Each structure stands twice: as structure tokens, then as C-alpha cells.
Structure 1
Amino acid sequence: MEKKVLTVQGKRVAYIDVGEPSAPPVLLLHGFPETSLMWEALLPAIRRCGYRAIAPDLPGFGQSERMREASTWESYMDFITRFLDVLQIKDIHLIVHDWGGLIGLRWACDHPVRVKSLILSSFTFSLDYEWHELAQVFRTPQKGETIIAENREHWLERMRMLIPGITQEQLNDFYCIYKSPESRNVALELYRSGDIEKLVPYQEKMNRLGCPVTVVCGEKDKYVPVSFAHTFRDRITHAKIYTLPDAGHFVYIEQPEKVAEIIVEHFDHHNEGGTSIE
């Protein structure tokens, strides 16, 4: 899938843009080690619902250059604002996965009037969450630098086992975050900025999110257990939760047809003037 390119604060950002320019925009934020290509199978469904799908390679991932500043949680939140400003987009629907959820949901809490609806997957905002084993290693100086520099063929083999249905094109794109010491440092900076305590002031902000919310989770997700989706709904009681029994962490790639159905249902219940395209 062809990516477009624009400049944000002097740095190249690659992104996918599908749909009519005048259609209501949907911003899709990937996680680690993903890129915009993770959404490839879902973009036609969003377009058919009458929306415009915009999926950037976050800075340092895929074909996007890293930011001038450190690649922290907060820097990526600032990037969202700047990226939308360049595109001259004010209000969005937001679809996120993994780190995209942590980044995107904090941004949504800070800009609630700009977010029309949310589709969330493989994320948590719980103060009880403990980083999974690999994340803990990434967050540890020296250990993180060692393990993230693993052999490419070993990484590819592990990803094929971890993400059923992934294409070679997606694998090659995802590997970009591992290809050099500079790109690997982007990932380490992000994980090392991810202190769960930073979510404390967002607990009350989250309670004030009144937009439609859909949560999609894989029952076999070993990085963010499905129980955290239900913990989230304890706070956002209007959230609709869908659990896919044969899916793991990467639900958008593992079961794209089922997730596309959920996305269509989500937008069918929140049609702000988008026109369905057959």
C-alpha cells in the first residue's frame, strides 16, 4: 500500500490516507513494533463506511524519521497534535493499538472535544498494570540494548509465530524499528518513558470521556490480558467490549474480517454524515 509523505517540525512522516478528503477523518495509531501497514486490511471497511482513514508511521517507525527530541510518551502525544495541524484536521475518530492506545488515549483525555469516538485494542489505563517481561527488559539499561539487537532472521521467525496472518511486506516494514542503533533507541526511549504513575492524573479525565467507545481484545493476548478491558469498562460504563476467542495481541492482523465487522458496526451507530460507499 502506497504511503504519502509530509513534514512535521522539519522531519519526514510517512502515512496512509484513504477516502475522500472531505469525509469525516479517522486517525489510526499503531503500537510497537508496528507501522501504518498493520491497518491495511481494515482501511477499505472504514472507507466504505464513508470515512477518511489516516494512518501515520509514528516518528522513528517504518518510513518516518525520528523526532528531534527524545522519543517519549509525551513527545508522541505532541506529535499527534502537530500531525493533525499540518493536515488541517480538527476533530477525529480514533482507532488505536498497543502503544498507540497509551499515546492516543492520553491525548484524547487532554482533547476530549476533538474526539468523536474511540476504538481501542490491546491497551490498558489501569494503575494496576505491570509491564510484561519483554517491556521490563527494554526498560532496563544495558539489558534492553542487548535484547533489542537480536538477529533479523530470529526476529522474523518469532514474529511469524506471534502474529498469524502477517504478510512479508508488513514484517519488512515492522523491522524498520530494529534496523539500526538509532532506530532501536527510539523504542527504548519510548518504553523507558512509560511510567504507569503518569496515568494517575488521567483517571478522572478518562471518566469524563463521553464519546462512543468500542474495545476489541484478543482472549489470548499475553501482553495485555483481556481482564484489563473489563477494568476499563468499570470506569467507562458505556464502552462496548468485543472479545475474539482465537486471537492474541495483534487482533487487527490476526482476524481482520471480524474486526472489520466490529468497526462497521461502530460507525453505523455513529454516523456523522459519512456516506456509505458500496
Structure 2
Amino acid sequence: MDTPASPQESLRGAWSPPLPEADGFEHAMIETPGLRTHVASIGHGDPVVMLHGFPEHWWQWRVIAPAIAAHGYRVICPDLRGSGWTEAADPRFGPESQVDDIEVVLDVLGVQRAHFVCHDMGAISGMQLSYRHPERVRTMVTLAVPPGFMEFSPKVMRAFEHMPKLLMHRPGRSLRYLFSPRYMARPLSEQAIEAYLRPHQRPELEQAVRALYRGMVMAVSFRLVGGVYKRMRLHPSTLVVFGRSDWPFTEDTVRRVCRYHEKHADRFELAFVDDAAHFITDDAPDAVTALALDWFAREG
């Protein structure tokens, strides 16, 4: 006789493709004009919003979110436009498409102000929100991405070696190369890579890769190079975290490009994690959790 599926297994199977396993999360679709946003949440208390990187989704926070929720927080992990199980009617991207989406979703959820933990692509939207609506950001923790006011240095250019491939991405071309030792201090299991890339079984997600990088990532990169954010003041308390193996963002380089932070930010700190590279949430989830909780407590 077949064993009946548990309620959680049945729920995962209701999504297409099925959601990867992660205990304790609740899943919902938030309906807003032109967008259906998949949101995974866990816990109760003050809100913490986690914005994933590329090519990741809510599952990036499978270890960190429950650990933070256990300290009395409600952790909200949306799939950003062009990622995970979120569905957009319009395939185009503008420089602020994702931050616009985040604001609307938070309004629907009744979240006026929150702590934020953001990685990679999600850090772009977190930064934009910090500048646009600082009153909505209680604290900000960004991972593996320098702040918008960074000083330009040729030493950081190697960090963008992956960009040409993504700008020219063709549907069906594997994104597995992004999880190579170049970006990870510890090898990721085949099961984890499959979980991250599973949503790319959806044709619309494959089509979104080029649009995302051409319409949003490149546009914001030009703003960074042009010094747009240097002419703005960063008000929310911001912690920027890098893995010590995240070459070329060595500690010396990061401290150098952020050396004038007092001119540009009210409250800003840097932190560095041993044995971690770009995908720091997989390499060192416990360290990220500890740093975030400490920042919430000190600055919140």
C-alpha cells in the first residue's frame, strides 16, 4: 500500500515545478497588477525581508530564515520578478522593476517597516529601497555586493566576468557555471544546484535572464559607475558583508572602495566571513545568521 503524502509534500507538489524541500515555511501567491509574487514566510514577530540573488530564489534562505525566525522574527522571502515561482505579465525589466514590486508586495502584506537581508541581485533592490524610502528600512544587511557609494577601482572589474554570458543568455543554456569554485568556497551538492535551477524549467524564466540583466542590472551598474548614489545620502543603518574568499572583493579592496563612507552614509559597517565566497549564504549560513541578528539588535 502506498504511504499517503504529508500535507507539506502535497503542498510542494501543488506548485509547478514542485517547490524544493524546506521545513516550516508557508507559501502564498500575492496578486498585484501584472504580477503574481510567490512568497515563502516563516515565524512570528518583527518583519525581516530577505531578497535573494541570481539564479536563486526563496530557497536560498532555507537555513538562515528559520534560524532568524527562532529569535522572534517573521521572515518574508519573496521570489523576485524573473525568478523562482513568481509570474509577471510583462517580460520587460526597467532599472527599478524589482524594487517597485517589493514595495507593492509589502503594502499588501501590511509591512510598513522591516529589517532587510539581501544578496547579489537582491542587494540592488535593497539599496534602491534604502535610498528611495529609508523610512521603510529598519536595518539593512547586504551580502557580497558593495554599497552604491563605492569608489570605482579597476580591481573590482573582474567581479563582472560573468555578465557577458548572462547578457547573451539563450534559453536552454545551463546556468550551472555560476555555482563553480570561482564563486563558492565549498562545493554545492547536485541536489542543491538542481533546487536552485529547477524554476528554469519554465520557459518564461529562461526568457527573463537577458531582460533582467539588460534592463535592470546593467542600468544600475551604469548608475554606480556614474556616481549617482554618491550624490545621495544613505540613511538606514547598513552592514555590508563579504566572504574572505570572494575574489576580487578582498578585504583590502573593499575597505578601500568604501573608505569615504562617512561622507555618504549615516551608519555603515563592513564585515568579513572566513571560508566563504560570493554564494555566502550557502558557504557560511551560520555566520550570516549571527551577523544579521547582531545588526538587528544593535541598530534596530
TM-score (norm 2): 0.76
State the partner residue of 2:18. Answer: none
1:132 touches 1:223 (CA, 8 Å); kept in 2?
no
Q: Which runs of 4+ in 1 moved over 6 A?
A: none
TM-fit CA distance, 1:176:
3.9
Distance 2:193 2:86 in 1: 16
Distance 1:224 1:173 in 2: 27
Instruction: After superposing the two structures, state which structure 1 stretch, 28-37 or 231-240, moved more.
Output: 231-240
State yes or no: 1:37 paired with 2:62: no
State yes or no: 1:110 paired with 2:132: yes
State the partner residue of 1:159. Answer: 179
| Letter of the 2:101 counterpart | F
TM-fit CA distance, 1:250:
0.8
Alignment of 1:34-183 (within 5 A): 34-124=56-146, 125=148, 126=150, 128=152, 130=157, 132-139=160-167, 144-146=168-170, 149-151=172-174, 155=176, 159=179, 161=181, 162-163=183-184, 164=186, 166=188, 170-176=192-198, 178-183=200-205
Number of residue equivalences:
259
Distance 1:183 1:265 in 2: 36
1:15 touches 1:54 (CA, 8 Å); kept in 2?
yes
| Letter of the 2:179 counterpart | M
TM-fit CA distance, 1:98:
0.4
TM-fit CA distance, 1:56:
0.6
State the partner residue of 2:291. Answer: 262
Residue 231 of structure 2, aligned match among 204, 210, 226: 204
State the partner residue of 1:4. Answer: 28
1:213 touches 1:239 (CA, 8 Å); kept in 2?
yes
State the partner residue of 1:28. Answer: 50
Over the residues paired in the alignment, what is the CA RMSD in angstroms? 2.6
2:91 touches 2:211 (CA, 8 Å); kept in 1?
no
CA 1:197–1:169 in structure 2 vs 1: closer, same or farther (change >3 Å)?
same
State the partner residue of 2:206. Answer: 184
CA 1:151–1:39 in structure 2 vs 1: closer, same or farther (change >3 Å)?
closer
TM-fit CA distance, 1:4:
2.5
1:66 touches 1:186 (CA, 8 Å); kept in 2?
no
State the partner residue of 2:4. Answer: none
Deviation string for 1:75-107 (max 9, x for gaps)?
A: 112111111111121111111000111121012
TM-score (norm 1): 0.82
* Structure whose CA Rg is larger: 2
Deviation string for 1:97-139 (max 9, x for gaps)?
A: 0011112101210001111111011113236264612113323
State yes or no: 1:232 paired with 2:258: yes
2:64 touches 2:289 (CA, 8 Å); kept in 1?
yes
CA 1:216–1:230 in structure 2 vs 1: closer, same or farther (change >3 Å)?
farther
1:218 touches 1:247 (CA, 8 Å); kept in 2?
yes
3-state DSSP class of the match of 1:71?
coil
Q: Which runs of 5+ in 1 are unaligned?
A: 272-278
Percent identity, please: 25
Q: Which runs of 5+ in 2 are unaligned?
A: 1-21
